[in-house]
Chains A and B, each alone.
Chain A
Amino acid sequence: MSVAGVFVGQLRREFKLLLQSREELANPLIFLFLALTLFALGGGGSPEMLRDFAPAIIWVLVLLANLLALEGLFRRDYDDGSLEMLVLMAEPLFLPVLAKILAHWIYSGLAMTVLAPLAALILFLPAEVLPTLLLTLLVGTPALSLIGAIGAALTVSLRRGGVLLALLVLPLYVPVLIFGAGAVVEAMAGIENMAQIYWLLVITMVALTIAPFLVSAALKISLEQ
């Protein structure tokens, strides 16, 4: 049972670290709500316009907030040497890597999904499409954490990797954005939208299958210098 122990042990460590750095934890969520408020204020007091753009605004901000949380995913462990220890000692490496990504998703993607009703309220999104929004976020955000982790692993040894990380990762986020926001737009228009949600599921499943191994390889490359 030591294989499961590696996963659970890493997850326990991530949660203990998160509890110790709560303000860092809150940053992406604060960003999300500041930006939402600015959109609401800048919308010219026109609920119709805000409503039409709400799916795109919410998804773009979730994307950016996710990116904001990504930089710290491996950075702290890299700085104190724990990442070296992890890469050298973990057998197999993809399990603790998956645990780290899961922790990242819980405090970014899942937290944003939970807070999405508030975002929908601010942007006058009709209540009847809220289930669709929540479903797309729930199915789509794991893909963001999984794909983003590859970029974070590749850039962890660079001092100013932030912009490079965005350049690497944002193009890969585009399909998630298109299907996620698209599903909500179609729900607002009353059109059948299950195809988009299935596509989101496909992206997440493919990412779940490949990303842990790519992240493991990327971490090794980043440390070998």
Chain B
Amino acid sequence: MMTTHLLTLSGLACQREGRDLFDDLDYQVAPGDYVELTGPNGSGKSTLLRSIAGLFADYSGAIEAAPLLYVGHRPAVSPLLSPLDNCQWFLDLVGSDADPLPALARVGLAGFEEILCQQLSAGQQRRVALARLILAQRPLWLLDEPLTALDDSGQRLVCQLIEQHVETGGAVVCATHQSLGLSATRALVLGERQSSTAGVVA
């Protein structure tokens, strides 16, 4: 009873354009959980993540979430700034005085710190967003299609970051079309038509 959940959804329901995206959704995410959020296009994965992040308010029910970091479709990387400046801005924003360089090296951007992001590839820009996962120090990560534009080593990097975060008591909710194949994955499937809007597989 007293386990502290990082995320609690109770009776969450959302309608969009007259159809139920999810209805009466109850779900808990505890420290150490990796939740893979799946479902067909348009089933409400992004909407659910945006609702949890606080970017979408048109739902009923309650959401209680620990301090979180949301990485959406748009990676929040300014093309007119260098990876270093992008990370430094983020650190100023969250009031941290951590050093961004080790995190940038970890995501494979060593040597690219001072180059404008518009000269980097889409995958490298996603890696800047991944560096923020390391820098943010938030217990709950919400990732929306984190594998987009990443090469094999980038995808392995995402898996490593998630595993490391989960092992150290964090939790990750990740919307994705291709399973990351991590052990101890919990699945949350949206859009199981009509029967129950959200089916939960342990």
Residue of B55, B76, B92 near A82 (CB, 8 A) is: B76
**A81 adjacent to B72 (CB under 8 Å):** yes
- The reply on B61 being an interface residue by CB < 8 A is no
Residues of B within 8 A of A5 (CB): 92, 95
Q: Mark interface residues in B76-99 (1 if CB within 8 Å of A CB, else 0).
A: 111111000100111111110000
Interface residues of A in 1-52 (CB under 8 A from B): 2-3, 5-6, 8-10, 12-13, 16-17, 20-21
For the complex of A and B, 3 pairs with smallest distance between CB atoms:
A9-B92, A81-B74, A2-B95
With A85-B93, A224-B58: A13-B81 Cβ-Cβ less than 8 Å: yes
Partner pick for B76 among A9, A21, A80, CB 8 A cutoff: A80
CB distance from A196 to the nearest CB of B (A): 40
Interface residues of A, Cβ cutoff 8 Å to B: 2-3, 5-6, 8-10, 12-13, 16-17, 20-21, 76-77, 79-82, 84-91, 96, 223-225
A84's partner among B58, B76, B95 (CB-CB below 8 A) is: B76
**Which of the four size classes fits the interface of chain B?**
20 to 34
**Cβ of B54 < 8 Å from any Cβ of A?**
yes
- B-side interface mostly: loop
Interface assignment of B73: CB less than 8 Å from any CB of chain A = yes
Check B77 against A81 for contact (C-beta < 8 Å): yes
Q: Are B95 and A6 in contact (CB under 8 A)?
A: yes
Alpha-carbon separation in the docked complex, A210 to B79 (Å):
32
**CA distance in complex: A200, B6 (Å):** 50
B116 at the binding interface (Cβ < 8 Å): yes
- Closest residue of chain A to B136 (Cβ to Cβ) is A89
